[in-house]
Amino acid sequence: MFDTLAGRFTDILAGIRGRGRIDEKDVAEASRQIRLALLEADVNFKVVKEIVADVKSLALGESVLKSLTPGQQVVKVLRDELARVMGESAVPLRIGKRPDVIILAGLQGCGKTTAAAKLALYLRREGKKTLLVAADTYRPAAQDQLVSLGAELGVDVWRGEPGQTAVDIASAAVQAESATPHDVVIVDTAGRLHIDDELMREIVALKTAVTPGHILFVADAMIGQDAVNQASAFDDALDFDGVILTKLDGDARGGAALSIKQVTGKPIMFVSTGEKPQDFEVFHPDRMAARILGMGDVISLIERAESAVDESEARALAEKLEREAFTLDDFLSQLEQISKMGGLNDMISMLPSHMLPKELRGAEVEESGLGRTKAIIQSMTSQERQTPRLIDGSRRARIARGSGTTVTEVNGLLKQFEAMRKMVKSAQGKSKKRGWPAGFPG
Give least dist CB 144 to another protein, A.
Answer: 4
Q: What is the DSSP string of 252-284?
A: ---HHHHHHHHHH-PPEEEEE-SSSTT-EEE--
362 binds another protein per the rule CB under 8 A: no
118 binds another protein per the rule CB under 8 A: no
Give least dist CB 157 to another protein, A.
Answer: 11
Please identify which residue in 132, 133, 142, 400 interacts with another protein, judged by CB under 8 A.
Answer: 142
145 binds another protein per the rule CB under 8 A: yes
What's the order of all strands across the beta sheet hosting 268-272? 156-159, 130-135, 184-189, 100-106, 214-220, 242-246, 268-272, 280-282
291 binds another protein per the rule CB under 8 A: no
Please identify which residue in 24, 144, 197, 324 interacts with another protein, judged by CB under 8 A.
Answer: 144
Distance, in Å, from the CA atom of 281 to the CA atom of 425, rounded to the nearest integer, reads 37
Give least dist CB 121 to another protein, A.
Answer: 14
39, 45 Cβ separation under 8 angstroms: yes
**Any bridge partners for residue 285, and if so which?**
none
Q: Residue 426: CB partners within 8 Å, gap ≥ 6?
A: none
Give least dist CB 256 to another protein, A.
Answer: 8
Distance, in Å, from the CA atom of 17 to the CA atom of 266, rounded to the nearest integer, reads 32
Site for another protein in 32-71 (CB under 8 A): 36, 39-42, 45
- H-helix or E-strand containing 145? helix 142-153
Residue type, 237: A
Distance, in Å, from the CA atom of 335 to the CA atom of 353, rounded to the nearest integer, reads 23
Closest CB to another protein among residues 24, 144: 144
Task: Measure the N-to-C terminal CA separation of the chain; round to a whole number of Å.
Answer: 26
Please identify which residue in 24, 126, 366, 418 interacts with another protein, judged by CB under 8 A.
Answer: 366
236 binds another protein per the rule CB under 8 A: no
Give the CB-side neighbour count of residue 303, counting CA atoms within 13 A.
Answer: 9
Site for another protein in 165-184 (CB under 8 A): none
Residues in contact with another protein, counted by CB under 8 A, come to a total of 48
Q: Which of 95, 116, 94, 97 is nearest to 105 (CA)?
A: 116
Closest CB to another protein among residues 126, 367: 367
99 binds another protein per the rule CB under 8 A: no
Q: Which stretch binds another protein (CB under 8 A): 61-69, 82-90, 108-116, 412-420?
A: 108-116
195 binds another protein per the rule CB under 8 A: yes
242 binds another protein per the rule CB under 8 A: no
Give least dist CB 344 to another protein, A.
Answer: 12
108 binds another protein per the rule CB under 8 A: yes
Q: Is the Cα torsion angle 280, 303, 80, 95 positive or negative in sign?
A: positive
Footprint of another protein (CB under 8 A): 36, 39-42, 45, 107-111, 113, 139-142, 144-149, 152, 193-195, 220, 222-227, 229-230, 247, 249-253, 255-256, 275, 364, 366-368
